[in-house]
Amino acid sequence: MFRLPEAEEINLLDAKARINFDSIINTRKYTVKDSTMTYRQANSMASDNMLPEDKDRDNGWRKFSLKELIYIELVLSLKKLGLKHSQLRNVWDSFFNPYDDAKKEKRLWREISDDVIALVMGHIDMILTITAGGEVSYIHPVFFTREYPTEEPFVFVSMSDTVNKVAKRIGKEGFTPKATLDSIYHILTTKEEKALALIRNGEFRTIKLTKKDGEIELIHAEQMNKSDNITIKAIEEVISTGKYQKITITQKDGKLVNLTQEVMMKV
């Protein structure tokens, strides 16, 4: 997945049109010494087919492009987080291989990674997320909180951090992003984060906030249970779930048909 605000995508196309971007990132003129990779790590990655094709050698030295150095740094960062080469095949695909033709995708993976690098050079951070199953996404920080993987555990890495490590290593200036995931998160207070978590919780149909001196003091979260026959046991279970709550029961034709629970939380 690749998620980017439309305005940023337009700026990206304009920027790539003004420079020979393909030559900048794909010319092979660097060696292992220009990366943070040790020769032992290079041999390990090569044996697992995790390094780019071994060509353009000069006097026996393997040559890398800037894009390949960024890929290597990304793999090393993800391995430090506990991921194995077998989980990183989609990272390889996102840099060097096209989509499976069966998916009938118009864009190539390798074109997407080119865009990510261009965005970082344009001072726009992108977040790479990867699940335990190896599913890879590149997401703009603005979209991260609502579109990060939710079905299984995942880790994420700032592409700005990755590119800047490489830039420093080869003696170039880094690219300070205009907005980062940290800066976006820090906009919310702890109380606001708690309220936002409840809003995103599908169990509650109504969320009410009580503020005092400009800050959230109480959160009222209401959920409803509709059924043809609500049992006394179900009511007892609801009562036992919290200290501060208001419970409303609706009876119809001699049966309990509606149970509304309003939970009050002091933050």
Domain extents for the chain?
2-185, 190-266
pLDDT in tens, 56-98: 555 667 889 999 999 999 999 999 998 999 999 889 888 887 5
Contact criterion met (CB below 8 Å) for 99 and 108 = yes
Contact criterion met (CB below 8 Å) for 160 and 175 = yes
Q: Helix/strand/coil (H, E, C) string of 94-123?
A: HHHCCCCHHHCCCCCHHHHHHHHHHHHHCC
The answer, yes or no, to whether residue 196 has pLDDT greater than 90, is: no
Does the pTM of the predicted model rise above 0.75? no
Q: What is the mean pLDDT of residues 9-31?
A: 73
